[in-house]
Amino acid sequence: MAVIHRTTMSPTKLELLTAWLPTRPWYRDSDRTPELTKAGGFRLDDPTGAVGIEFMLVTDGAGPEARTYHLPLTYRGAPLDSADEALIGTSIHGILGQRWIYDGTRDPVAVTQIIALLTGRARPQAQSESDTPDPSVIVTVGELADTASELVSTTDGPSYTDIAVQGGAIAVFRHVLNTADAPGTANARVSVPWQLGDGSTARAVVLAMGA
């Protein structure tokens, strides 16, 4: 299980994401600097304990114009080979030292665990607590238990990223969320809540696989 450290990161995650988000094709307001606040999220465990895997929900802006984004992050103690284009940035962790932070849709360890989550072989973990499952993350498992999980390719769309894995399956990682989202009909899907500016919560499907 991942250990959550109570410490600092410099620069912070939100600072790194503020610079990275406008470079994404699915970011909606690229003509201004993002104004980000954390709105929710969860984690997955790397069985080897080497890579941190976090799915962060952040809200950009406030009021009726605010948008919420679902962002995959992986944390590594050394650079990932041949993945410069996936690097979000580096940060100094108060306990672990320098960390390389990557777009999880392009990190093979994260992709393996995403498929494990969708096929019932991994459990969502609390974002800020060690060794604590997160019951607010609802996983509907489809008929995909034997699907291979090796990353083949990643393709960004206007509001999502398609992750193709060995065996022909495609996991859809949804980035842009809104309060009017339909529940989804995919065979395997993951829905999460996030906090709105007025203190209420919304829920949307953020990962799916199958038709």
Is 4 a domain residue? no
Q: Rounded to the nearest 5°, which phi and psi values hold at 74?
A: -120, 150
Between strands 151-156 and 160-165, the pairing is antiparallel
Mean pLDDT, residues 139-149 taken together: 72
Is 143 a domain residue? yes
pLDDT of residue 142: 72
Is 1 a domain residue? no
The CA R_g of the chain, rounded to the nearest whole Å, is 16
What confidence category does residue 207 fall into, taking pLDDT thresholds of 50, 70 and 90?
very high
Q: Rounded to the nearest 5°, which phi and psi values hold at 43?
A: -130, 160
pLDDT digits (tens, 9 = 90+) for 107-121: 999 999 999 999 999
Share of the chain above pLDDT 90, in %: 67
Is 202 a domain residue? yes
Residue 109: strand, helix, or coil: helix
pLDDT digits (tens, 9 = 90+) for 6-25: 678 899 999 999 999 999 99
Mean pLDDT, residues 122-137 taken together: 91
What confidence category does residue 184 fall into, taking pLDDT thresholds of 50, 70 and 90?
low
Is 97 a domain residue? yes
**Phi-psi region for residue 51, left (φ > 0), alpha (ψ -120 to 50) or beta?**
beta
* Residue 81 reports pLDDT greater than 80: yes
Enumerate the β-bridge partners of residue 89: 101
Split into its structural domains, the chain has a count of: 1
* Residue 210 reports pLDDT greater than 90: no
- Average per-residue pLDDT in the chain? 89
pLDDT digits (tens, 9 = 90+) for 14-59: 999 999 999 999 998 767 889 999 999 999 999 999 999 999 999 9
Is 2 a domain residue? no
Enumerate the β-bridge partners of residue 35: none
What confidence category does residue 181 fall into, taking pLDDT thresholds of 50, 70 and 90?
low
**Other CB atoms within 10 Å distance of the CB of residue 61:** 17
pLDDT of residue 145: 47
Whole-angstrom distance, CA of residue 75 vs CA of residue 73: 7
Domain that holds residue 143: 9-209
Is 16 a domain residue? yes
pLDDT of residue 8: 81
Is 194 a domain residue? yes
* Residue 147 reports pLDDT greater than 80: no
